[in-house]
A and B are shown apart, each in its own frame.
Chain A
C-alpha cells in the first residue's frame, strides 16, 4: 500500500475541486473495494477525499413519482427502505444478494456503481492486464475466465462488472446524477458503464473529478412486479455467475412491457433490449420467453470455459419471467 493523504470533504464543491486538481486523487465512499485494491496496489491514489459524510444520505420521492437515492446511502439502508421494497423489490433483492451484511453496512450506492472487476489478473499487479495497464495484454482470454464475460467483450478485455445493484438499476432505467468540474449532469445508467472496446481502463463514462451525487429511479407502474435472481457458486457472499433483474407488465394475457437486465455476463450491466422487444405484445409462455432469450443471447461470444453462461442466462430468463407471470395471475 502506498502512503496517501486523507481528507474529509466539507461539501461537494470542494470535494470535486480537490479531486479534479490531481490525477492521483480519488473519492472514498465506504472503501469496501477501493481500500482492498489499494492494499494490492492496483489502485495507488496519493489523495483520498472522503465523500461518505456529504449530505447525500437520503432517499426521497420526487414530485414526478421517481425516487432519488443519495450516493452516500448505505447498501443495507437502501435494501431496507420501505418504498424500495414495495415499489422496486428487484432492487432490494439485488442489494441483499450482494456481498455480506458487514460490507453492505459500509458500501455506498455511489461506490457500488464504481466497483471494479474481480478478474484475478486485474487484481494481481505482477501480471499483465489491459484494464490496469493498457497495452500489456489480457491473460484472462486464454486463462482463468470461467466467470468472465460472454457479451460485449473486446479483444482487449473480457472483464465483468461485479455489481448486483447496478443490474437492477439498469432494468429500472435509473439515472445517475453527477456533479463534475464542469457542473451537473444526468447520465442514464444504461450507458453509464462502458463496454471495454479498446479502452478497457475506463469502466464508466465518468471523467476524472466527476462525483456521483444520487441515483434516480423513475416511477414504474409495474415495478412492484419485479424480481432479482442471482446464481452463484455458494449460497451467499459470492459474485454472480449470472444474475437477472426482471419486471413484467402483463395485461389481458399480453406482455405490455418487459424490463430485463443480466449481471455477470459483461463489462456493464446488460440490458436485454432485444429480448424486451421480442416480448412486447407477445403471449407470455415459456416458449416465447425462451425465444426472447435466444434473440438476446444470439450476440453472445463465449470463451473456452464460460459457454455454460449462455445456457444459464437463458434458463434464468425463462424461469424468472415464468415466475413473474405466475405471480401476476
Chain B
C-alpha cells in the first residue's frame, strides 16, 4: 500500500455492526406493524381484466389486498417504475400488480400467492438482438452524455489502415444483488410520513416520495443510518418505498416491506446486456489511427435507461479518427439501471479486450501499445486532463506484478494439467461532484458536530467524512461527531457515481474551514452559545474550470485454466490506481479489492439468464446467479499512486467506489487468452468455452 492520507482508521460503526447494534431499515421495531408482500405479473405484456383476491382476503391475518383498482392515485414522476398499482397495463413479467398487507410476513407471503389475475395477453419481445430493426437512438445516454460522437473520418481511416481488428463483445444482464434487500418501514402520523428505508441517498428518496404523494418535502422524513450494499440498485427510490407508504396510509398502521431475493431480479434494476462492436486501426508502429465503439443495449417500455457504455472510449486513447454510438432496443423487460460503474464497466471490458487483441496484432506488449497511444489531452473534447497517470499505474503495476519479460505466446505455460496465463487492462472512472450542504457546530463543551445527509452504504462514508472534518478543524478525529443518514440533516446528494466523498467532503471541509475561522475570530475561545457554520457548495461547484477529470488505473490478473474441465481460477489480481488523494487506506483498500472481486465475478460467474418466451430472468436466486465465493478469491492486491491534483476539490480526491471494477473482466479475459489461446468475447467465461477435448 502506498500513498499519503490518514492511514488505517477502521469503520467507526464497525463494532456496532458486528454486535447487532446497527439496525438496517427492516430491523427497526414498530408497534402494530403490518407486513406487505408484492404480487407480481405472470405475463410479459398485456392488461389485467379481472382480479380475484377473495381467497387472499379470506386468509386469517390479511388486512388488505391492494391493486390498481383500489390503490390511491399517485402523482406521476419521471420514473415509471414508481407508478405502482396505477394501471391495469403490464409492461413486463414480474412487474408489481398487487400488494398484500397482513399481520405477519408469513401470512402476507402466502396470501400473495392466492391473488389471482386474469389478463389479456399481447405478444412481447424480450430478447436483445443486434439486428433488431426497432433499435433507436436515444436523445442522450446516462445521465446526460451525447449519444453518439464523431471526430475525423473513421470509415476512411479504417479502410486504409495496415493493421486493424473488428470484433464484437457481449456482456450479459447482471443483477447488483446487495446482501440487504430493498426494504422500508413506513409510518404515517397525520399527513407526515416517516420512513426507514434502505437506499443510497435519503434526500433523493425524500424529494421523490414527497412528489409522488403530493406532499411538501418537510412532511417526509427518511432515515437511512446503515445500508447493506447498493451497488447502484438503491441509487433511486424503488417501488418498495412507495408501496410501503401506500399501504401504511391505506391501513393507518406502520408497514414493513422487504423484498425477496427473487424480486430483486424483477423490479429494482440491473445492468443491461450489451452487444459491443469495437474496431481499431493502427499504423505499422502501433499508433492508433481510428477507433469505433458501437453499442447495442436494452431498455424497457416503462422508462428509458440508456447505459453510457462507450463513453470511456471517448477519452482513453489518442486517435485522430473516431466515433462512438449507442442504440437501444425498447423491450418488454424490467427497466435496467445503475450497477457499479454503469457505462465504464461493460464498455471498458470491450475496449480493453480489443486493445489486447490489437497489441497482439501489432506485435507489441499490451502496456507498450497503450503507452504509444497515450493522449496529451482529452482526445475528443480537446481539453486538458486535470491529471492523468495511467502510464504510471501501468508501470507501477508491471513492476509489482512481475510483468517484465512476459512471454506473449499463448497456450505455452503448463503446470500439471493447468494452463497459466497473465493479462492486464486499464481502468478509468470520471470524477463527479454534486452540490451539497453541511453544518459544522461547536459548543463551549463537547465535541465538534458535523451534520450532513450523506449515506454510508458500507463504504466507510462516516469514517472518511470524520477524517476530513478533523483535518480541517485541526483536532483529533475522536473529537468530531458526524451525523449522517437522516433527511432532516442538511441536504446532500446520493452515494453514486463515486462522487460521495468529493461532494459531501467539499461541504464538510468548507463548513469546518468556516467554523475554524470563526473560532479564530473568537481568539480560540468558544462563546457559551456555541458557533456554527452552514455551507452550500452549489456556487463553488458552478465556478469550476472545464477540464477532463478522471481517475485511472491498471489491473493485472493471473489465471489457471484446467485443461480437462475448462475451469478458470484466479490466483492473483493486482490493481494500481491513480485516484487523487486517498482519505482512509483501510476503507479504500476494501473498496478497491471488493470492486476487483466483483469484476472477477463479472468475468467468470455473473449472468442473469433471460428466457425470452417468458420475459424474465430465470436464475433468480444466489444458487442460480453466481458471484465469487470466498474460495474463488485468491491473492488480491490494491495499490495507489501518491497523486496530487489541485483541480478537483478541497481534499484532492477523485472517488474510488467504482474504478476497481472497471477493467478487471478484460484483464482476466486477456489472461485466459494468454493461458489458452482461446479468445472469449462473451461474458461470463464459462468453462465450456475453454473445454479442450482430450485426444
Let me know if A314 and B693 touch, CB within 8 A. Answer: yes
Residues of B within 8 A of A43 (CB): none
**1/0 contact trace for B670-695 toward A, CB 8 Å?**
00000000000000001110010111
Let me know if B614 and A235 touch, CB within 8 A. Answer: no
- B605 interface hit (Cβ, 8 Å): yes
- A8 interface hit (Cβ, 8 Å): no
**In the bound complex, how far is the Cα of B632 from the Cα of A147, in angstroms?**
20
Tell me whether A234 and B113 are in contact in the complex, defined as CB-CB below 8 angstroms, given that A1-B106, A139-B613, A312-B691 are known contacts: no
Residues of A within 8 A of B693 (CB): 311, 314-315
Candidate in B42, B565, B566, B691 with the most chain A CB atoms within 10 angstroms: B565
Residues of B within 8 A of A233 (CB): 604-605, 626, 686-687
Binds A, one of B28-36, B205-213, B617-625: B617-625
- A142 interface hit (Cβ, 8 Å): yes
Interface residue from B611, B631, B694 paired with A139 (Cβ < 8 Å) = B611
Q: Name the interface residues of B610-664: CB closer than 8 Å to any CB of A.
A: 611, 613-614, 618-621, 623-624, 626, 628-632
Interface residue from A2, A234, A286, A312 paired with B605 (Cβ < 8 Å) = A234
Residues of B within 8 A of A1 (CB): 106, 109-110
Let me know if B110 and A315 touch, CB within 8 A. Answer: no
- The closest CB in chain B to the CB of A310 belongs to B693
- The closest CB in chain A to the CB of B41 belongs to A126
Tell me whether A144 and B632 are in contact in the complex, defined as CB-CB below 8 angstroms, given that A121-B618, A241-B687 are known contacts: no
**1/0 contact trace for B42-60 toward A, CB 8 Å?**
1000000000000000000
Residues of B within 8 A of A3 (CB): 106-107, 110
Let me know if A235 and B694 touch, CB within 8 A. Answer: no
Let me know if B417 and A319 touch, CB within 8 A. Answer: yes
- B609 interface hit (Cβ, 8 Å): yes
**In the bound complex, how far is the Cα of B565 from the Cα of A232, in angstroms?**
9
Let me know if A315 and B567 touch, CB within 8 A. Answer: no
- A237 interface hit (Cβ, 8 Å): yes
**In the bound complex, how far is the Cα of B628 from the Cα of A232, in angstroms?**
12
- A143 interface hit (Cβ, 8 Å): yes
- The closest CB in chain B to the CB of A286 belongs to B694
**In the bound complex, how far is the Cα of B604 from the Cα of A189, in angstroms?**
35
* Smallest beta-carbon distance B467→chain A, Å: 36
- The closest CB in chain A to the CB of B630 belongs to A236
- The closest CB in chain A to the CB of B604 belongs to A234
Residues of A within 8 A of B613 (CB): 139, 142-143
**1/0 contact trace for A304-318 toward B, CB 8 Å?**
000010011011101
Interface residue from B569, B611, B629 paired with A143 (Cβ < 8 Å) = B611
Let me know if B618 and A124 touch, CB within 8 A. Answer: yes
- The closest CB in chain A to the CB of B614 belongs to A127
**1/0 contact trace for A223-245 toward B, CB 8 Å?**
00000000111111111010000
Residues of B within 8 A of A235 (CB): 569, 629, 631-632
**In the bound complex, how far is the Cα of B688 from the Cα of A232, in angstroms?**
11
Interface residue from A39, A123, A236 paired with B629 (Cβ < 8 Å) = A236
Residues of B within 8 A of A241 (CB): 687
Let me know if A290 and B694 touch, CB within 8 A. Answer: yes
Taking chain B's interface residues, is the majority helix, strand, or loop, or is none over half, making it mixed? loop
- The closest CB in chain A to the CB of B40 belongs to A126
Q: Name the interface residues of A198-247: CB closer than 8 Å to any CB of B.
A: 231-239, 241
Interface residue from A39, A125, A231 paired with B567 (Cβ < 8 Å) = A231
Tell me whether A318 and B109 are in contact in the complex, defined as CB-CB below 8 angstroms, given that A120-B624, A234-B632 are known contacts: no
Let me know if A120 and B619 touch, CB within 8 A. Answer: yes
- The closest CB in chain A to the CB of B105 belongs to A1
- B564 interface hit (Cβ, 8 Å): yes
**1/0 contact trace for A36-52 toward B, CB 8 Å?**
00011100000000000
Residues of A within 8 A of B630 (CB): 236
**In the bound complex, how far is the Cα of B41 from the Cα of A300, in angstroms?**
38
**In the bound complex, how far is the Cα of B621 from the Cα of A40, in angstroms?**
11
- A133 interface hit (Cβ, 8 Å): no
* Smallest beta-carbon distance A234→chain B, Å: 5
**In the bound complex, how far is the Cα of B693 from the Cα of A37, in angstroms?**
37
- The closest CB in chain B to the CB of A120 belongs to B618
**In the bound complex, how far is the Cα of B691 from the Cα of A146, in angstroms?**
15
Let me know if A2 and B618 touch, CB within 8 A. Answer: no
Tell me whether A308 and B564 are in contact in the complex, defined as CB-CB below 8 angstroms, given that A143-B611, A233-B626, A234-B632 are known contacts: no
Tell me whether A234 and B623 are in contact in the complex, defined as CB-CB below 8 angstroms, given that A1-B109, A315-B691 are known contacts: no
Let me know if A311 and B691 touch, CB within 8 A. Answer: yes
Candidate in A125, A142, A316, A319 with the most chain B CB atoms within 10 angstroms: A319
**1/0 contact trace for A164-203 toward B, CB 8 Å?**
0000000000000000000000000000000000000000
* Smallest beta-carbon distance A110→chain B, Å: 21
- A118 interface hit (Cβ, 8 Å): yes
- The closest CB in chain A to the CB of B688 belongs to A308
**In the bound complex, how far is the Cα of B564 from the Cα of A143, in angstroms?**
27
* Smallest beta-carbon distance A275→chain B, Å: 16
* Smallest beta-carbon distance A11→chain B, Å: 30
**In the bound complex, how far is the Cα of B262 from the Cα of A39, in angstroms?**
11
* Smallest beta-carbon distance B685→chain A, Å: 10
**1/0 contact trace for B13-28 toward A, CB 8 Å?**
0000000000000000
**In the bound complex, how far is the Cα of B694 from the Cα of A286, in angstroms?**
10
**In the bound complex, how far is the Cα of B609 from the Cα of A146, in angstroms?**
11
Let me know if A236 and B631 touch, CB within 8 A. Answer: yes
Let me know if B113 and A41 touch, CB within 8 A. Answer: yes
Residues of B within 8 A of A127 (CB): 614
**In the bound complex, how far is the Cα of B258 from the Cα of A34, in angstroms?**
22
- The closest CB in chain B to the CB of A143 belongs to B611
Let me know if A315 and B694 touch, CB within 8 A. Answer: yes
Residues of B within 8 A of A318 (CB): 564, 694
- The closest CB in chain A to the CB of B42 belongs to A126
Residues of A within 8 A of B688 (CB): 146, 308, 312
Residues of A within 8 A of B42 (CB): 126
Q: Name the interface residues of A266-319: CB closer than 8 Å to any CB of B.
A: 286, 290, 308, 311-312, 314-316, 318-319
Residues of A within 8 A of B106 (CB): 1, 3
**In the bound complex, how far is the Cα of B569 from the Cα of A234, in angstroms?**
8
* Smallest beta-carbon distance A278→chain B, Å: 17
Let me know if B626 and A144 touch, CB within 8 A. Answer: no
Interface residue from B40, B614, B624 paired with A118 (Cβ < 8 Å) = B624
* Smallest beta-carbon distance B26→chain A, Å: 17
Q: Name the interface residues of B589-616: CB closer than 8 Å to any CB of A.
A: 604-605, 609, 611, 613-614
- The closest CB in chain A to the CB of B619 belongs to A120
**In the bound complex, how far is the Cα of B623 from the Cα of A40, in angstroms?**
14
Let me know if B614 and A316 touch, CB within 8 A. Answer: no
* Smallest beta-carbon distance B618→chain A, Å: 4
Interface residue from B564, B605, B686 paired with A316 (Cβ < 8 Å) = B564
- The closest CB in chain B to the CB of A305 belongs to B688
Q: Name the interface residues of A106-147: CB closer than 8 Å to any CB of B.
A: 118, 120-121, 123-127, 139, 142-144, 146
* Smallest beta-carbon distance A131→chain B, Å: 15
* Smallest beta-carbon distance B273→chain A, Å: 15
Let me know if B565 and A315 touch, CB within 8 A. Answer: yes
Residues of A within 8 A of B624 (CB): 118, 120
**1/0 contact trace for B93-133 toward A, CB 8 Å?**
00000000000001101100100000000000000000000
> A residues engaging B (CB < 8 A)?
1-3, 39-41, 118, 120-121, 123-127, 139, 142-144, 146, 231-239, 241, 286, 290, 308, 311-312, 314-316, 318-319
> B residues engaging A (CB < 8 A)?
40, 42, 106-107, 109-110, 113, 262, 417, 564-567, 569, 604-605, 609, 611, 613-614, 618-621, 623-624, 626, 628-632, 686-688, 691, 693-695
Known: A121-B618, A235-B631, A319-B564. 9 other contacts (CB 8 A): A143-B611, A146-B686, A233-B604, A233-B686, A234-B629, A241-B687, A311-B693, A315-B564, A315-B565
Would you give 22 A-B contacts (Cβ < 8 Å), ordered by A?
A121-B618, A125-B113, A139-B613, A142-B613, A143-B611, A232-B567, A233-B604, A233-B626, A233-B687, A234-B626, A234-B629, A235-B631, A236-B632, A237-B629, A237-B631, A286-B694, A308-B688, A312-B565, A312-B688, A314-B693, A315-B565, A319-B417
Q: Which 7 A-B pairs have the closest CB atoms?
A: A308-B688, A235-B631, A236-B631, A315-B564, A231-B565, A120-B618, A126-B42
